């Protein structure tokens, strides 16, 4: 709105043409930003300026812009999604910044997430982990009535807490070891606590942990950076549960 004060923001953005390009930081200045701009709308302003100047706009992933699809993925000032509690970068608003601020923007950096262009990375490795076992092997049709399996509210709530994961990969980007333990642990736990998932629990956790290793993700050394980075507040206790499930599966 016009009666609001506007901000001028300095940006230092990672630019990389493709996976083989070494990449470098570029400096930009954006003007006319209000407190109501979302972070990505601020990036839109930058890109409109770049296009008009005949320059290549900054490539970044985004889609729903309401914090649920998991597509957006930027490290802002060293924190995945910008560090606001339980907030994706698309839901981060410029009222959290000040006029004249300098903001550093990087892509997710991990061996398992090769860079596609600028801030866009390839997260197919997360799909591979789910394909290894992140499901119950029920067929379409031929399943019992939904109320035939009673699930106590605390159990359903616990499963839902884990199921909130949006698969953005911030946990990997935040982790000094680039581990995907929070992501994997959340899915293992969701299905391990529910009666529907118990039948396959052993094989599932073994297969998913193996896939995680094969994709080149690191291991957990209890820094808890993943939990801080997670825009959905997924708790590290689900890593502990995955470890427990994994040990149980050995016997």
Q: Give the separation between CA 128 and CA 178, rounded to whole angstroms.
A: 16
6: contact with another protein by CB under 8 A: no
203: contact with another protein by CB under 8 A: no
152: contact with another protein by CB under 8 A: yes
Footprint of another protein on residues 83-122 (CB under 8 A)?
Answer: 86-87, 91, 93, 95, 116-117, 120, 122
Footprint of another protein on residues 33-62 (CB under 8 A)?
Answer: 34-38, 40-41, 44-45, 48, 50-52, 54-57, 59, 61-62
Return the number of the residue (151 or 240) whose C-beta is nearest another protein. Answer: 151
Residues shown for the chain: 251
- 11, 40, 68, 171 from 102: Cα distances, Å: 6, 16, 28, 24
Which of 23, 231, 230 is CA-nearest to residue 115? Answer: 23
Stretch that binds another protein, among 20-28, 98-106, 152-160, 234-242 (CB under 8 A): 152-160
Adjacent-strand bridge partners of 11:
28, 103
132: contact with another protein by CB under 8 A: yes
Burial class (CB in 10 A: 0-12, 13-18, 19+), 148: exposed
Q: Binding residue for another protein (CB under 8 A) from 10, 18, 210, 219? A: 18
Return the number of the residue (9 or 220) whose C-beta is nearest another protein. Answer: 9
Q: Give the separation between CA 7 and CA 200, rounded to whole angstroms.
A: 54
């Amino acid at each position: 709105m016009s009666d609001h004060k506007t901000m001028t923001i300095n940006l230092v953005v990672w630019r990389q043409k493709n996976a083989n390009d070494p990449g470098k930081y570029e400096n930009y200045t954006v003007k006319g930003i209000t407190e109501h701009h979302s972070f990505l709308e601020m990036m839109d302003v930058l890109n409109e300026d770049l296009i008009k100047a005949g320059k290549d706009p900054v490539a970044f992933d985004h889609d729903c812009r309401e914090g649920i699809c998991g597509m957006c993925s930027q490290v802002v000032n060293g924190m995945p999604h910008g560090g606001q509690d339980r907030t994706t970068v698309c839901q981060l608003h410029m009222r959290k910044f000040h006029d004249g601020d300098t903001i550093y923007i990087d892509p997710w950096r991990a061996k398992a997430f090769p860079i596609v262009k600028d801030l866009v990375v390839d997260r197919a490795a997360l799909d591979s982990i789910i394909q290894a076992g992140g499901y119950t092997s029920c067929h379409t049709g031929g399943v019992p009535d939904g109320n035939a399996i009673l699930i106590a509210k605390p159990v359903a709530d616990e499963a839902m807490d884990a199921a909130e994961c949006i698969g953005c990969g911030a946990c990997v980007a935040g982790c000094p070891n680039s581990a995907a333990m929070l992501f994997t642990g959340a899915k293992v736990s969701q299905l391990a606590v529910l009666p529907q998932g118990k039948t396959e629990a052993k094989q599932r956790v073994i297969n998913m942990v193996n896939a995680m290793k094969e994709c080149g993700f690191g291991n957990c050394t209890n820094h808890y950076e993943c939990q801080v980075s997670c825009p959905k507040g997924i708790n590290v206790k689900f890593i502990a549960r995955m470890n427990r499930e994994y040990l149980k599966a050995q016997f």
